[in-house]
Amino acid sequence: MAVKWRNEIIRALAEVRGNAVRDADFFIGPECNAKASERLRSSGVDLASIGQGIPLLIDCALLAFLRAVDEGGLELVFRDSSGALTNLAEESKGELVKAFREVQELSTERYFAGDERADP
């Protein structure tokens, strides 16, 4: 993977991951007024258990997305900070999934229950 855009895409994905974890946490919390959120809370499911699995589910979704790009099933063009465009399906050469651990390391959000960054 070209170093020129690689670090930028990793930072961008870490930000997306963090935002997704925070959004999902908010969605299951009492302050969210979305109808789907209210239905979930009133269903009697254990929201604490759902909350523990949120980071893992988001990581699975992001990895599936990156795998689709790596395998050429999803054409994705990335614009870096200089404005240069890179076709990730052509340029990543299968490295996006391998780079995902760096995304997790940059993320400010927890991984999963039991992880050192998990909420106490």
DSSP letters for 60-98: HHHHHHHHHHHTTSS--EEE-TTS-EEEHHHHSTTHHHH
Contacts (Cβ under 8 Å, ≥6 apart) of 59 = 17, 100, 104, 111
**Domain containing 19: what range?**
3-106
Mean pLDDT in residue range 100-109: 80
Asked whether residue 112 is assigned to any structural domain, the reply reads no
What 3-state DSSP class applies to 8?
A: helix
**Degrees (nearest 5) of the Cα angle 46, 113, 50?**
25
How sure is the predictor about 101, in pLDDT bands with cuts at 50, 70 and 90? Answer: confident
For residues 1 and 96, the answer to whether their CB atoms sit within 8 Å is: yes
Asked whether residue 45 is assigned to any structural domain, the reply reads yes
Asked whether residue 47 is assigned to any structural domain, the reply reads yes
Q: How far apart are CA 69 and CA 36, in angstroms?
A: 31
For residues 59 and 20, the answer to whether their CB atoms sit within 8 Å is: no
Mean pLDDT in residue range 24-34: 90
Asked whether residue 119 is assigned to any structural domain, the reply reads no
pTM check: above 0.85: no
* Residue given tokens 């170093």 in the structure block: 3
As given in the structure block, the two tokens for residue 66 are: 């990156």
Asked whether residue 82 is assigned to any structural domain, the reply reads yes
Asked whether residue 65 is assigned to any structural domain, the reply reads yes
User: How many structural domains is the chain composed of?
Assistant: 1
Asked whether residue 26 is assigned to any structural domain, the reply reads yes
Asked whether residue 74 is assigned to any structural domain, the reply reads yes
Mean pLDDT in residue range 22-47: 89
